[in-house]
Amino acid sequence: MNQRSCREQLDNELMELTFTARDQVIGRTHPRSRREKLAAWWNKELELSLVPLVPIVAAASLLLFWAMAFYSDGPESEVLRKQRTVIEAGGNMYWDDIFAKKVRTYEK
């Protein structure tokens, strides 16, 4: 079979099939209006290589954890937490220092 006869056989077999979305495909692949261009731009796939992405995410995570440790309350907040007591008022549980502060603001 030569190329021409293969092509004719293929054309005969595919004669019943028609492609109806030609204009939609052309519109997406070759946008003309601003709206089509914007839709094509929003439809772009983002490809990120894992090789540079992993160290960047790891460095950002380390910086975040370092910043959280650096800006924590420190050891004095641990002492304050150990000295706090929980009280019950009106069926609810409160820290005693926060409850006293709120009571003072309402008594004024």
| pLDDT, averaged in runs of 10, over the chain (108 residues) | 86 86 83 85 82 92 87 62 82 89 87
pTM: 0.32
Residues 6+ apart with CB under 8 A from 99: 87, 89
CA distances from residue 37 to 23, 46, 99 in whole angstroms, order as listed: 15, 17, 60
